[in-house]
Amino acid sequence: MKDYLEFREEVCRYAKKMYQAGFVTGSAGNISLRVPDEDNRYVITPTSVPYETLTPEQVVVVDREGDLALDLDYGPSVETPMHLAVYQARADVNAVIHSHAVFSTVMAVLRKPIPPIVEELVVYVGDEVRVAEYASAGSDDLAKFAVQALRENAAILLANHGNLCVGKNLLKAFNLCALVEKAAHIYIECLQLGKFTLLPDEVVEAEKEMYKVMKNM
């Protein structure tokens, strides 16, 4: 039986990067990867295993229904339905990261989108960072609302919860998580200082077009 170890190693590596970046604490958040050229196999972090002690062997493999495709002692993340719903809806997405990064989560609690305030945001997200309708963690509704809010974009906020960043690979999804978190931080600082200026509409429109070109690169 195939063990998909190289993909489990990659997911484990990025899970630890997410933890070291401070985007999650303990075992919060989750990361997954679509196995290329395979019959609907997805590698995802196990539920409730602390990142500090996570090993590639603990990272699980599921099929498109979310059932374990490898016999392991660990269960898949409770957010497996959300990850799988994204892969189903978006053939261009091969990696999904859900983090609880603090400034993103502040915006998610405010249930306010992160607007186009810095040059690079729309180029990588596709638009402002929208907020998905609230549903409780791990629910099928959360999966549904996440896909609805994401549409063709690359990042959203999950109301009262965190963020969700997707990409062609884990490097892109991870860098996007860092960018969204930075933009959320800048926006919150701006709100505290008072007046701020959004990017001009024509720049935002041009950046949306750039996103469509860059998304598959």
Cβ at position 162, least distance to ligand 13P in Å: 7
Residue 25 as a binder of ligand 13P (CB under 6 A): the answer is no
Residue from the set 15, 23, 30, 183 that interacts with ligand 13P by CB under 6 A: 30
The tokens describing 174, both together, are 């991870």
Instruction: Give residue for tokens 């016999």.
Output: 71
Q: Which is nearer to ligand 13P, 50 or 200 (CB)?
A: 50
Please identify, among the stretches 24-32, 109-117, 123-131, 173-181, the one whose residues bind ligand 13P according to the rule CB under 6 A: 24-32
DSSP string over 7-21: HHHHHHHHHHHHHHT
Going residue by residue from 138 to 167, which x/- string records binding to ligand 13P, judged by CB under 6 A? x-----------------------------
Q: What's the DSSP call for residue 217? A: -
Which of 144, 152, 150, 148 shows the shortest CA–CA distance to 163? 150
**Catalytic entry in 52, 65, 79, 181:** 79
Known catalytic residue: 52? no
Residue 58 as a binder of ligand 13P (CB under 6 A): the answer is no
Q: Which is nearer to ligand 13P, 40 or 58 (CB)?
A: 58
Going residue by residue from 75 to 114, which x/- string records binding to ligand 13P, judged by CB under 6 A? --xxx-----------------------------------
Burial class (CB in 10 A: 0-12, 13-18, 19+), 132: buried
Which of 98, 97, 101 shows the shortest CA–CA distance to 188? 101
Residue 213 CB neighbours (<10 A)? 9
**Phi, psi of 156, deg, nearest 5:** -140, 170
Binding site residues, ligand 13P, CB under 6 A: 27-30, 45, 47-48, 77-79, 137-138
